[in-house]
Structure 1
Amino acid sequence: MFRSSAPRTAAALSACALLLSSCGGGGSASMSTLNLGLTDAPVSGVSKLWIQFTGVEVKPAGGNAIDFMFSPEKGFDLLSLQGGTTATFLNDTAIPAGQYQWVRLMVDTKPGASYVMDSTGQHDLTIPSGAETGLKLIQGFTMPVGGVASFTVDFVLSKSLIAPQGLSPDYLLKPVLRLLDNTQVGTISGTFMASTLSAQSNCGTRPPVVYVYTGAGVQADDIYNPPTGTTDMDPASSAEPLTTATAALNSMNDYAYSMAFLPAGTYTVAFTCDPDDPTVDEDTLTPDPIHFKIYPQAVAVTTNMTTTVNF
């Protein structure tokens, strides 16, 4: 269902302008086709993370927001959307061409609509901004006249999902989202040698987690989601990862990973098997409990290509 957020009269006038000639005049507004998908970077410690959505809203520059309501609602287990797997929000959806300012994922706020499952059972998932603003990506994009634009929302769960002590055993979602143009992204993938893993702490009991940082020569840092009103005080030479991926055993019984939807560019790649709690800034502890193994060369990602990084 397509609707404008403007009052009904204005919406009706806008709708007439979008039709070829059904409202009397002979002109037509320029249209475009939007595809919008959803993917996820994995998170450890949970077996399912279900979020239910009621629709998507996009905001044209200088115009009223446009809603696309789902009937019925669309729900996804985000943990199933990894390694390049996507779910569909919008498929071949006609919208006016032009510049857009933001995308909003409208969350179903009914009790129990979104939840987390871990080793102790099913728990509520609180999304503080869900009722007021949904999950909003303030990131501009362009819809070409008479063309098709395909985007993917990358849900970086490793930065987003936390389990505050005061909320236990329930979870809190502080969403970190990226809007990616599917024509401008590539993939990093690779495997691990047993000798590499044996030299790293905790790799005998935990799978390796790969961290990707924007730029070359970045000092690998842990994930830290500071409390509201505070900031991460790490030095400029270090940076939180753009995204992460947890490796899994493949058919050859080797650990392997794949990280899709990376914008073309240069990256620093590292891994660790040490646990990373997003509510704790581990590198401020003595000794630092997280030990990273950094890939020795800068890694270049090319559009529509896969770059191999083996450890």
Structure 2
Amino acid sequence: MVRFMAFMQRSASPQFSLARGGIARLGVLGLLALLAGCEGEVTMDLGTELPADPNITQVVADIRGLEFTKSGGGTETMEFRGSEQVDLIDLADDNGVLRLFTSEQLSEGTYTGVRLLFDEDRADDAFVSTFAGTQFPLNLADSAPASLSFQIEDNESSSESFTLLLDLRKSLSFDEDTDEYTLTPTLRAVESSEMSRIEGNVSVTCLSGTLERGAVYLFQNSDVTPDDIDGAGVEPFATSPIFTVGGGFVYALRYLPAGSYTMAVTCIGNDDEPLTDEDLLFRNVVNVDVDDGETITRNLP
């Protein structure tokens, strides 16, 4: 299925939002909040990038909320009223962004990281499905928080909004001995108002593999020598499958912060297995700079 569409945020269902006031309640409650004093709030969205294996049709797990890391070493947790089963594949196109929390209060502090929380009591319900109809168990592993930076000060009003991107290509691995998948969530967090995007056509001539099996990898900083996802050395910051659209090939690197990057194409991106060293035969290595909130077109001939 082609997942290359203009960005449009999906409205959240009520069970995912712990906002204190919905649209119908903003008038009176908003005034009361102003009279009562200032407060810090945060809004969080979640999207995903597709796994390397195109045969995967579902990656299902029960999410219960988020854990924020504070600069002093403590944490702050936001949880749903009840955990919700989510198919992460559904969040892999631009229409699939999921609202986790809307204008939710956080305590005073400097926040430096965030990670997804899964429901340990329903961990046995997590699974991966394929086009063949085969269902595999999915183990949920802990991971390091995604970096972010904002501060909430006592008696000062603030509102922060971030989008989290869970890259399944970097997060999902398969154990052939046990026939099980493991999800070790690799997240990045970007301020929603400053998200950038790089997209374009791909017409690389493949010496091995085909563009249908290809991917575009993005690395932080210029003039980086590309490497696969193997847990060592240089690791990609973002990835995009190569999609077939109208007889041509396209890619879209989404939810990026401003910065200088190195891009590269591989025709055998489907072969990349996290924590395993593969030679992906990267080609067409180019540098690209992106500003805040910018969408740029960079074709890869």
TM-score normalised by the shorter chain: which range applies? 0.7 to 0.9
Change (3 A) 1:299 1:62: closer
1:291 to 2:301 alignment:
no
Q: Output one character per residue of 1:51-91: Cα deviation in whole Å (capped at 9) or x when no partner.
A: 21122233555597443321332232222223544211111
For residues 241-260 of structure 1, the aligned pairs below 5 Å read 241-250=236-245, 252-260=246-254
Distance in 2 between the 1:59 and 1:215 partners? Answer: 26
Change (3 A) 1:148 1:111: closer
Change (3 A) 1:95 1:117: same
What is the one-letter code of the residue matched to 1:149?
A: E
Conserved 8 A contact 2:62-2:126: yes
Q: Output one character per residue of 1:175-228: Cα deviation in whole Å (capped at 9) or x when no partner.
A: 2222222233310111123xx24x442116x33211001111111111114xxx
Corresponding residue of 1:100: 111
Change (3 A) 1:115 1:208: same
Corresponding residue of 2:128: 116
Change (3 A) 1:271 1:68: same
Distance in 2 between the 1:103 and 1:276 partners? Answer: 26
Conserved 8 A contact 1:300-1:307: no
Corresponding residue of 1:71: 81
What is the one-letter code of the residue matched to 1:292?
A: F
What is the one-letter code of the residue matched to 1:220?
A: P
> How far 1:280 moved relative to its partner?
2.0
Change (3 A) 1:253 1:245: same
Conserved 8 A contact 2:226-2:264: yes
For residues 52-71 of structure 1, the aligned pairs below 5 Å read 52-60=62-70, 65-71=75-81
Distance in 1 between the 2:117 and 2:293 partners? Answer: 30
1:263 to 2:269 alignment:
no
Corresponding residue of 2:224: 218
Corresponding residue of 1:303: 292
1:31 to 2:27 alignment:
no
Corresponding residue of 2:21: none
Distance in 2 between the 1:114 and 1:181 partners? Answer: 29
Structure 1 segments, 4+ long, off by >6 Å, are: none
1:182 to 2:192 alignment:
yes
Distance in 1 between the 2:71 and 2:228 partners? Answer: 37
Corresponding residue of 2:141: 128
Say which one has the larger Rg.
Answer: 1
TM-score (norm 2): 0.76
TM-score (norm 1): 0.74
What is the one-letter code of the residue matched to 1:223?
A: I
Distance in 2 between the 1:55 and 1:181 partners? Answer: 19
Change (3 A) 1:278 1:33: same
Change (3 A) 1:98 1:273: same
Identity %: 25
Conserved 8 A contact 1:38-1:86: yes
Distance in 1 between the 2:40 and 2:252 partners? Answer: 32
Conserved 8 A contact 1:83-1:260: no
1:192 to 2:199 alignment:
no
Change (3 A) 1:154 1:191: same
| SS of match in other structure, 1:47 | strand
Q: Which runs of 5+ in 2 are unaligned?
A: 1-16, 19-30
Change (3 A) 1:243 1:59: closer
Distance in 1 between the 2:123 and 2:89 partners? Answer: 21
Q: Which moved more, 1:159-168 or 1:301-310?
A: 159-168
Distance in 1 between the 2:225 and 2:191 partners? Answer: 27
Q: Which runs of 5+ in 1 are unaligned?
A: 3-19, 130-134, 226-231, 284-289
Count of residue pairs brought into register by the alignment: 261
Corresponding residue of 2:158: 147
Change (3 A) 1:111 1:261: closer
For residues 269-288 of structure 1, the aligned pairs below 5 Å read 269-274=263-268, 275-283=271-279
What is the one-letter code of the residue matched to 1:203?
A: T
Conserved 8 A contact 1:30-1:97: no
| SS of match in other structure, 2:177 | helix
Q: Output one character per residue of 1:19-60: Cα deviation in whole Å (capped at 9) or x when no partner.
A: x999xxxx9664122111111222122221112112223355
Change (3 A) 1:207 1:90: same
Conserved 8 A contact 2:148-2:189: no
Distance in 1 between the 2:289 and 2:278 partners? Answer: 28
